[in-house]
Structure 1
C-alpha cells in the first residue's frame, strides 16, 4: 500500500505492560507555523473519519464472515455433494490460497486506481460468487471454483481498508481508527459459525447460508457506492482536491445530475496536488483524465527474499495458519471428543470470537501507546497535523515493542490447547484457551506488521 511500508524488525522495546504515561509526558506538536506543517496530512474531518470507520467496519466483515460461516456446513456439504470430508476441506485450502493471491492483485491496484472502484469490484465478485454458490445444487467442481472466486473478492478488503486508514490518519493516530474497526470486524469471526449453524438448522439446507451472504454483500456494496469517498493519496492527494469520475460517490453523481440544468459551470484552473511524503501526485482538471500506471502486483513477492521482512511475515503467517487449523478442526474435535451437536459446535466458536474482538481493540490502543512511548524515548515530537516522516522515525521499534511477551503467552496457550484436547480435559479448558489464542495472537500479528 502507498502508506504502509514493509518494516525491518531488528529491535524490540520494553514490555508493553508498563504503566502508561501521562498525556503531558507524550510529546505532541501543536499546529506549527513552519512550511512543512502548513500542509495538513489530510483534510478529512472527524465526522468524515467516523463515517469512513463505519463503512470500513462493514466492508471488513466480508473476509472473516465468508470464511467462518462456511465451517459448520462441512458435514452437510459432504453429504449433499456425496464427497468425503477431505474433499470438502479442499475448498478451505483453495480459499486460503486465494486469500494470499487476492491482496497482491487488488491492494496494488487500489494504489493506482483508487480505493473506491477496487472495493466495488471486489464486493461485486464476492456477492456474485455467493449467488452462484446458493444456486449450485449438485456440482462439487462448481463449489470448488466459486469458493475460490468468493475468496478472491472478499480477501482483498482487509488490505484495502488498511490503505484507507493510512490515507486519512497520520501515523500517530492510525491505531485509534484501526483498533475499533478491527475489533468490530472481528465480531464476524464469532458470529459467522453461529449464523451458519442457525441457518442450516432452521432450513435443513446450506443454500440459505449463501443467500445470507448475497444479501450482506449487496447491502455493503450499496453502502460503499453511496457513502465511501475516494481517499487514495496517489490519486487525490490529502483530500483537498475535489473527486472526479470514478472517485465520486453515487450520491455525488446523483447530485451532479440534478444540477445539470443550472448555468454552465466556470472553467477551473488545473490543480496539482502533490503528496510530499510519497512523492506522488496527479493533475486533474475539467476535460482532463488523470493517467495512472498499474504497479506490478508480483513485485511484492520480492519482499519474501528480504531477510528481516521474511522473518516478520513468518511471525505473522504462523499464527494465522494455526488459526485456520484450529477453526477447521473445531467441528471434529467437539463432535467426536465432547459429543456436541451442531448448535453447540457453532456456539463453541464464540469464545475465540470474543478473543479476536478484545484483541483487535487492544491492538489499536497498543499501537498508539507504543508509538508515543517510542517517540518520547528518542526525543521525537509527534506531528499530528502533517504527520511524521517515517524515514526518520523507528517505526519498526514502535510496532514490535513488547512482542516477545505476547509470543511467549501465545505459544503457552497453544501448547495448553493441544494438551487439553489430547487429554480430553473438561470442555471449558479448550474453550478458554481458544480465547487466549485470539487475544494474545491477534494483537501480536497486527502490532508488528
Structure 2
C-alpha cells in the first residue's frame, strides 16, 4: 500500500479513547450542507483567476532568498582573492546572511500581519535591489561587503513569511495545499538554479560583479511586478477582500490604481467636483489608516510561538528537515570534488538532481496535503465547508497534515544512510545523484507540510508564525553547518549521514506521534487561554 494513502493510525477507537472526542464535534447533516454553505459568507472574494495571479507573483517573489543564498557559494574563492582576505573572513559573510535570514522574517512577518502584505513586499524588495546594487559596485571595502550582505539578506528573506501569510489570507484550509505546492516549486527553483549559475561564473569568467548586477535586474523586475499587480490581501486590512479601502491607495495594485485614476479624470472632466472631493477625503483617510497600522513588531511574538507545546514539535519537524537539506547541500562541493574530481561547473550541475526533486516534490506535496485533509474529514464524518472554510478549532488539522509522515520518515532515513555509504564507497556517480533527487523530493514534503500546519494553528497571524519557523530553521541549519566538517573528519561520510538520518528519523517519529496524539488538545488549551 502507498504510504500516502495509508493512515498511520489504527481504526478509530471508541469515543472515550479518541483524541478529539472530548471536543464534542457536532456535524451538520449531509442534507442541510448545501443550504448552510449557501447562507454563510465566503472566506474570500478573491476569484480563482486572482489566486492564479497571486500564485505566480508569490512564486517569483519567494525565489529571491534561495537564489541569493545558493548563487553565492561558488563565488567565495573569487571574493577571497578580490578582497585579499582569508577564507575564514569571507565565511563570515555567510554567517551574516544566515543571521539576517532569521531576523528579517521576525521583523517583516508580524509587520505584514498588521500593516499589510503589499507595503512590506515593496519595502523588502526595495532593500533587496539596494543591497545587490551596492554589492555590484563595491570594489574594495570588506566592511561594506558585510553591511551590504546584511541588507541583501534583510530584503530577500522576508518573502517566505509574507507569502505564507498571503496564502492563508485567500485560501480556505482544505485548499491551501493547491496554492502552496506551486509556490514551493518556485521557491526551490532558486536553490536549483543558483549553484549552476554561480558555478558557471567561477568556472568561466573569474569575475563576480555581473552576478550581483543580474540580481539587481531580477529584484527590479519583481519590485515593478508586485507594485503593478499585487493587491492587498491581509485580512486585518481588507477582511475577505471586499472592503472599500482595498479599492484605492496603498492597498490596491498599481494596475487598478491606474484604472481608478483614468476614471477620476473622466469624472473631473465632466465637472463632478463632489466626487473629486470625496476621493481626496478617502485617500487622506487611507493614508492615515496606513500610518496608524504601522508599528514596530515585537520579536517576542515569534519567540513565544516556539515554546508552546503544540507548536514546538511542528517547528522541530520543519526545521530538522531544513537542517538535513542544508547539510546535504553544504557537503556536495567536498564530496564531488574530492571523490569524483568535478570542476566548479560540474559541481554546480551536481545540484540539479536535488533541485529537480524539490521542484517536482513541491507540486506533489500540495496535492497530497489537500488529499490528506479531505481523507481525514471523511474519516471523522466531517463535511468540508468550501465556501467560508472550516473552523479549525474543532477540526483535527494536526492529524490531517501529519498523515503518512511516519512512513515517509522511514524513506528519508533510508535515503540518507544509503547516500552516505554510496559516496563513502565511491560508487558510480549516478547513484548518489539519484539519491539526491529522492531526498530532495521527500525532504520538501516535511518542511512544506509542517510550515503549513504552523500557519493553520495561528490563523490570525500567519506571517508571524512563518517567521517563527524561519528563526528556528535558520538557527538549526547554522548549528548543523557548524558541526558538519568536524563530524565528517571524525566519523567519515558514511557514519555522518547515518547519524544524520537516524537523528532526523527517530526524533521526527517522536515529534509526529506527539503532534497526532497531543497537538489538538494542547492547541485548544492554548486558544482558550488566549495565548
Give the TM-score band, short-chain normalised: 0.7 to 0.9
CA positional deviation for 1:176? 0.7
CA positional deviation for 1:123? 0.8
Structure 2 residue 258 is the aligned partner of structure 1 residue 254: yes
Q: What is the CA–CA distance in structure 2 between the aligned matches of 1:148 and 1:267, rounded to whole Å?
A: 45
- Report the counterpart of residue 107 of structure 1 in structure 2: 109
Root-mean-square deviation (CA, aligned residues, Å) is 2.6
Check conservation: 2:306, 2:312, Cα contact below 8 A: yes
Give the 3-state SS of the residue equivalent to 1:385 in structure 2.
coil
CA positional deviation for 1:340? 0.7
CA positional deviation for 1:247? 0.6
- Report the counterpart of residue 376 of structure 1 in structure 2: 378
Flag the 1:308–1:64 CA change in 2: closer, same or farther, 3 A.
Answer: same
Higher relative contact order (CA 8 A, sep 6+): 1
- Report the counterpart of residue 68 of structure 2 in structure 1: 66
Q: What is the CA–CA distance in structure 2 between the aligned matches of 1:123 and 1:112, rounded to whole Å?
A: 19
Q: What is the CA–CA distance in structure 1 between the aligned matches of 2:403 and 2:277, rounded to whole Å?
A: 49
Structure with greater helix share of residues: 2
- Report the counterpart of residue 198 of structure 1 in structure 2: 200
Q: What is the CA–CA distance in structure 2 between the aligned matches of 1:417 and 1:142, rounded to whole Å?
A: 40
- Report the counterpart of residue 428 of structure 1 in structure 2: 430
Q: What is the CA–CA distance in structure 2 between the aligned matches of 1:34 and 1:402, rounded to whole Å?
A: 32
Q: What is the CA–CA distance in structure 1 between the aligned matches of 2:147 and 2:50, rounded to whole Å?
A: 38
Check conservation: 1:200, 1:208, Cα contact below 8 A: no
Q: What is the CA–CA distance in structure 1 between the aligned matches of 2:41 and 2:112, rounded to whole Å?
A: 24
Structure 2 residue 140 is the aligned partner of structure 1 residue 152: no
Flag the 1:200–1:259 CA change in 2: closer, same or farther, 3 A.
Answer: farther
CA positional deviation for 1:163? 0.8
CA positional deviation for 1:350? 0.3
- Report the counterpart of residue 16 of structure 1 in structure 2: 4
For residues 51-106 of structure 1, the C-alpha deviation after alignment (integer angstroms, 9 at most, x for no partner) is 11111111111111111111221222222222333333332222222222111110
CA positional deviation for 1:110? 0.4
Structure 2 residue 216 is the aligned partner of structure 1 residue 214: yes
**What runs of 5+ residues in structure 2 fail to find an aligned partner?**
8-28, 452-531
* TM-score using structure 1 length: 0.86
Q: What is the CA–CA distance in structure 2 between the aligned matches of 1:349 and 1:35, rounded to whole Å?
A: 47
Q: Which moved more, 1:361-370 or 1:306-315?
A: 306-315
Check conservation: 1:72, 1:345, Cα contact below 8 A: no
Give the 3-state SS of the residue equivalent to 2:393 in structure 1.
helix
1:393-432 alignment runs, 5 A limit: 393-432=395-434
Q: Which moved more, 1:70-79 or 1:357-366?
A: 70-79
Q: What is the CA–CA distance in structure 2 between the aligned matches of 1:351 and 1:16, rounded to whole Å?
A: 23
Check conservation: 2:315, 2:450, Cα contact below 8 A: no
**What runs of 5+ residues in structure 1 fail to find an aligned partner?**
1-13, 20-26, 270-283
CA positional deviation for 1:256? 3.2
For residues 339-367 of structure 1, the C-alpha deviation after alignment (integer angstroms, 9 at most, x for no partner) is 11121111011011011101111110111
- Report the counterpart of residue 316 of structure 2 in structure 1: 314
Q: What is the CA–CA distance in structure 2 between the aligned matches of 1:30 and 1:42, rounded to whole Å?
A: 22
* TM-score using structure 2 length: 0.73
For residues 409-430 of structure 1, the C-alpha deviation after alignment (integer angstroms, 9 at most, x for no partner) is 1122222222233333322222
Flag the 1:30–1:416 CA change in 2: closer, same or farther, 3 A.
Answer: farther
Flag the 1:168–1:253 CA change in 2: closer, same or farther, 3 A.
Answer: same
Give the 3-state SS of the residue equivalent to 1:54 in structure 2.
helix
Structure 2 residue 296 is the aligned partner of structure 1 residue 292: no
Q: What is the CA–CA distance in structure 1 between the aligned matches of 2:232 and 2:315, rounded to whole Å?
A: 29
Q: What is the CA–CA distance in structure 2 between the aligned matches of 1:241 and 1:33, rounded to whole Å?
A: 26
Q: Please identify runs of 4+ aligned residues in structure 1 that moved more than 6 A.
A: 27-31
